[in-house]
Amino acid sequence: MIELNGITPFAEGGNRKCFVHPEKPDKCLKVVHPGLLEKITKNQPWYKKLRSKSSFDDNLREQEAYNQKSLKRNDQIAYKHLAKWYGMVETSIGMASETELIKNDGEIAQTLEDYLFSKGLTDEIKNSIEEFHDWLRENLILTKNLIPHNIVIKIEDNQMILKIIDGLGSKAFFPLPSYSDFFAKRYVERRIELMWSRINWDLSGRKGNWK
């Protein structure tokens, strides 16, 4: 079992604490905030309570998402814009997902959100976003809504490559294992459209509803 007590997470999202793996500096361990699952299920209306607690666990949902049809090929292209998945491991503070920690020159990579807030929508990042969108379309990768703080920037050969580190999967009720390409195409186009809405909303001071 991996000991995480006494180790400070390098980041925290709304759902999970993120740690550098104590034995493998290129891996990331994510543990769902303790008590979060209990809190979520307690506050859900009765009909949602019928769903099992595990359906709210981000790590378990992410594990299913990495099993989606388009990633089964497991080749380099399918993973070009995605942190690699290494499975679930037991730690002293609960089950963790183990994924590739995205770094540049030893430093943990910057999120797309941080980049946009500091530099704005430069031509360079616009190209990277468009290249990322082409990859989503060509490979029909299913994601939840793509939010700039769930994407980090990896520098490869002086190019900025966007990597999804959170949000792979689909909105509830889209059947991950059995979708048709026809619906997947429409679904992916909508995620791309909403990603631009979200970026524009972030950049314009977050007024109104981003969708």
Ligand X SMILES: Nc1ncnc2c1ncn2[C@@H]1O[C@H](COP(=O)(O)OP(=O)(O)O)[C@@H](O)[C@H]1O
154 in contact with ligand X (CB under 6 A): no
Question: Is the Cβ of residue 35 or residue 208 nearer to ligand X in the bound state?
Answer: 35
Question: Is the Cβ of residue 93 or residue 112 nearer to Mg ion in the bound state?
Answer: 112
Size of the site for Mg ion (CB under 5 A): 3
Angle at 150 between CA 21 and CA 74, to 5 degrees: 70
Question: Is the Cβ of residue 147 or residue 184 nearer to Mg ion in the bound state?
Answer: 147
Provide the mask over 166-185, with x wherever binding to Mg ion is found by CB under 5 A and - wherever it is not: x-------------------
143 in contact with ligand X (CB under 6 A): no
First to last CA, the chain: 42
13 in contact with Mg ion (CB under 5 A): yes
User: For the chain, where are the E strands, in sequence order?
Assistant: 11-12, 16-20, 27-32, 85-91, 94-100, 103-104, 107-108, 151-156, 159-164
94 in contact with ligand X (CB under 6 A): no
Rounded Cα distance between 170 and 59, Å, is: 14
Rounded Cα distance between 54 and 2, Å, is: 22
94 in contact with Mg ion (CB under 5 A): no
Structure tokens at 94: 């609960």
60 in contact with ligand X (CB under 6 A): no
Q: Taking contact as CB under 5 A, which single stretch among the options 17-25, 46-54, 126-134, 165-173 is the one that binds Mg ion?
A: 165-173
Rounded Cα distance between 92 and 90, Å, is: 7
CB atoms near residue 63 (< 10 Å):
16
99 in contact with Mg ion (CB under 5 A): no
Residues found near ligand X in the complex (CB under 6 A): 11, 13-16, 18, 28, 30, 58, 83, 99-102, 108-109, 111, 149-150, 152, 165-166
- Which residues are at the interface with Mg ion (CB under 5 A)? 13, 150, 166
